[in-house]
Amino acid sequence: MKCLFILIPLSVALVSCAHVISREYVDVAEKNIPFKELQQNTDAYLHKMFIFGGIIAETKITGAGSEIEVVHTPLDRFGNITDRDFSEGRFIIMTTKYLDPLIYRNSRDITFAGILNGTRKQLLGDIEYVYPVFDAKEIYLWKEEKYYLYPYGYPYWYDPFYYPPVYYPYYRFWYRPYLSY
């Protein structure tokens, strides 16, 4: 019975630290090649597996499936995006699945495992940009974080028993002088 109390928290801790991409792809993916190097020398890394992530710029539906343009961002060892304000370029993910552009929309975070198939030249604003193109094997779309504002900018619930009515007039001036009652 004592072992059960040790094994359950340990198993939860180990599972919570797993990579977002399946183990089979993590094991065969190239890990020590920076995105900038891959972008400059794409031919040397053709048909190799990579795990990258970023912020979706655009999702298009094509006759062959879906195409996602992604702004590259660095990942940690679990596949989480570490810095949304840093990028080494853009890339395109191709998949035969239909991915709804409303769900896979602009500014969503994404991590994927895919095989590098080559490059494609496309206009990015006024310049011709060379995109590395990946054939997706697994895609992980991150949940959107929602932020809620507390009423009056104060996140704590008022407890009438913490400040008894005797102290209430003084509480107003000492602890929250900026509120008007």
Please tell me the pTM assigned to this model: 0.72
Topology of domain 19-141 in CATH is OB fold (Dihydrolipoamide Acetyltransferase, E2P) (2.40.50)
Structural contact between residues 17 and 78, judged by C-beta atoms closer than 8 angstroms: yes
Which pLDDT score is estimated for 152?
A: 53
Which pLDDT score is estimated for 32?
A: 87
Tell me how far apart the alpha carbons of residues 46 and 43 are, in angstroms, rounded to a whole number. Answer: 5
Which pLDDT score is estimated for 19?
A: 82
121 phi-psi bin (left φ>0, alpha ψ -120 to 50, beta other): beta
The percentage of the chain sitting over the pLDDT mark of 90, rounded to a whole number, equals 56
Which pLDDT score is estimated for 12?
A: 52
Return contacts of 93-96, CB within 8 angstroms, 24+ apart: 93/67, 93/68, 93/134, 93/136, 93/139, 94/64, 94/65, 94/66, 94/67, 94/133, 94/134, 94/135, 94/136, 95/65, 95/66, 95/67, 95/68, 95/135, 95/136, 95/139, 96/64, 96/65
| SS3 of residue 169 by DSSP | helix
CA count, 13 A, side-chain hemisphere, 103: 9
Residue ranges of the chain with per-residue pLDDT less than 70: 1-17, 147-181
